[in-house]
Amino acid sequence: MDYWRKSPKVFWSFGIPPTIWLFALFLAPLFLVWGLSFGEKQGIIEVAITGTLENYSRAVQPLYLQIFLKSFWYAGLTTFFCLVISFPIALAITSASERWKPILLLLVILPFWTNLLIRTYALIAVLRTNGYLNDLLELIWLSADSGLRILGLGDWNLFGERFHRFELLYNNFAVVYGLVYVHLPFMVLPLYAALDRMDRSYIEASLDLGAGQWRTFRSVIVPLALPGIISGVIITFIPALGSYLTPDLLGGTDSQMIANVIERQFKSANDWPFGAALSFLLMYLTFFALAVRALLTRHNEKGLA
């Protein structure tokens, strides 16, 4: 631990660049936006930082709180589905052979090599009314129907007279679907990391001592994977909360999330102070949720002790 005392040059030469990075490219801009949130618009482009709280009092109006609530709901749903889908995927990767593991992990990371925008447009091509998914379903319907005809049941129209294409895009389902699709790797990776570290003998012991599969999963695997679950939930939930591209491109007329409102403040509404206040309110709410979560965990640990 005293390493930095012994060779300070090495320490500083490794420590300073990331520190500068953090300050110049993250904390300083964040501070500017924070300052802006206490500003007032003066004319078209000038903003005076007056220390006013007007932006915040506007941001806690029921209209905006309702949109915040909706965003939390969407992000929560996304996180839930990601967790449910990712757990078996992560388990499968951990139990794969050493030769397959890197390949499977690569497949999980592969989507990141493509820009989010391109992936979202690809999703549009898949999901739209005349898209690939509906084409495929129609193909299945047609072959099933002709199968029936061969069996002499064609006149009964058991599957309906004709195939009705599903309207999969431009609704809230599409938004959550898109968010789950985009955030899945964020959940798989920490889960995999946690599960892969787990000592298999615990599972064997649990099974040997008479616990069933479900009991073993619930009382052994899940508690051991808990750190991975928590970090997965956090790094899925937070970016999902701030999504704006997905609701913008896949959502219907009622899919507005808070980030869409924030974006408009910086663009068409040209009200940067209010946009800054909304952004910080979102950040405070996120911190608050994390703090509550941390308190609960600590409480639980005490309860167990």
Partner 1 sequence: MKMNPKNNSRPSRRHFLRRLGAVAAGLTLLPREGWSAEEKKLNFYNWDTYIGETTLDDFRNDSGIAVSMDLFADNDELFAKLKEGNPGYDVIVPTNDFVERMIRANMLFKLDHSKIPNFKNIDKAFRDAAFDPKRAYSMPYMWGTIGIGYRKSKVSKVPDSWSTLFASSEYSGRIAVLNSPSETVPVAMKYLGHSLNTTDPAVVKAVEDLMIKQKKHIKVFAEDNGQDLLLSGEVDLTMEYNGDIIQVQEEDDDIAYIVPKEGTLLWEDCLCIPKGAPHPENAHAFMNYLLDGDAGALIADFIQYATPNSVAKAKLGDEYRNNPAIFPTDDVLGRSESSKYRGEAMQRLFDEAWTRISAA
Sites of contact with partner 1 (CB under 8 A): 41, 43-45, 63-64, 66-67, 70, 117-118, 121, 128-130, 167, 169-170, 248-249, 251-254, 256, 260-261, 264-271
To partner 1, the closest distance from the beta carbon of 79 in angstroms equals 22
With respect to partner 1, which residue has the nearer C-beta, 72 or 170?
170
With respect to partner 1, which residue has the nearer C-beta, 39 or 232?
39
To partner 1, the closest distance from the beta carbon of 245 in angstroms equals 9
Please name the residue ranges forming H helices in the chain. 3-6, 8-22, 28-36, 54-59, 62-95, 101-109, 116-127, 132-150, 172-197, 200-208, 213-216, 222-241, 245-250, 258-266, 272-304
To partner 1, the closest distance from the beta carbon of 113 in angstroms equals 16
With respect to partner 1, which residue has the nearer C-beta, 65 or 91?
65
Instruction: Give the number of other Cβ atoms within 10 Å of residue 277's Cβ.
Output: 29
Query: Hey, which residues does 282 pair with through a beta bridge?
Result: none
Confirm if 250 and 169 have CB atoms less than 8 A apart. Answer: yes
With respect to partner 1, which residue has the nearer C-beta, 82 or 271?
271
| Residue 218 DSSP class | I
To partner 1, the closest distance from the beta carbon of 219 in angstroms equals 44
To partner 1, the closest distance from the beta carbon of 231 in angstroms equals 29
Tokens of 95: 């139990």
**Closest by CA position to 177, among listed 166, 168, 167:** 168
CA distance 275 to 282: 11
CA distance 232 to 269: 35
To partner 1, the closest distance from the beta carbon of 250 in angstroms equals 9
With respect to partner 1, which residue has the nearer C-beta, 179 or 195?
179
Q: Radius of gyration over alpha carbons of the chain, in Å?
A: 25
Q: Give Dmax (Cα) for the chain.
A: 87
With respect to partner 1, which residue has the nearer C-beta, 236 or 265?
265
